[in-house]
Amino acid sequence: MAKQLYGALARFENTAALYHACEHVRDAGYMKWDAHTPFPVHGLENAMGLKRSRVPWVSLVFALGLGTIPAFIGQVWVSSIASQQVISAKPMIPWQAFVPVTFEVSVLMGAIGALLGMAALNGLPRLHHSLFSSKAFEAASDDKFFISIEARDPKFDATATSEFLSDLGATLVELIEE
């Protein structure tokens, strides 16, 4: 069975070279590519041309839809419908007493939404990735910096893309199979 090409992997020696290369890959019009670093590199998302994440919106929907609204309605139901007790001049819906529980449930559901949203938008869980077959890529978690361009990118051509990455200053360019 013939193996299918995943894409090209290029290694860079430092953050400045990676940042510069990311700007050129972005400007060249590649769409299906990524940068891999052993630690966060400030501003790399701008060099890559990435849009803002949708995780905050997912977190907000979870916080309001599964936190604030159900917590408040549940407390109103318990206080004024399920076990209504008229004591002194207590209002039927003492909303001030509901604030701490509503806040805490909202924070909890927002955190759960952020975790689930991040996992879903990143395509997790993924137990194997084609880049793991490269011995050179093991240094991505240690001290080297990489750019991978996928073969499914409309602009990808194995030879031209490899030469393009070499011209950007890559110390190693490798074609990765699925």
pLDDT tens readout for residues 90-127:
888 889 999 999 999 999 999 999 999 999 999 999 88
Is this structure's pTM higher than 0.85?
no
Dig out the tokens for 140 from the structure.
Answer: 């991505």
One-letter amino acid at 37 equals: T
Q: Which domains does the chain have, with CATH numbers?
A: 5-53+127-177 (3.30.70), 55-121 (no CATH)
SS3 53: coil
| % of the chain at pLDDT higher than 70 | 99
pLDDT tens readout for residues 144-170:
999 999 999 999 999 999 999 999 999
Secondary structure of 63-91 as H, E, C letters: HHHHHHHHHHHHHHHHHHHHCCCCCCCCC
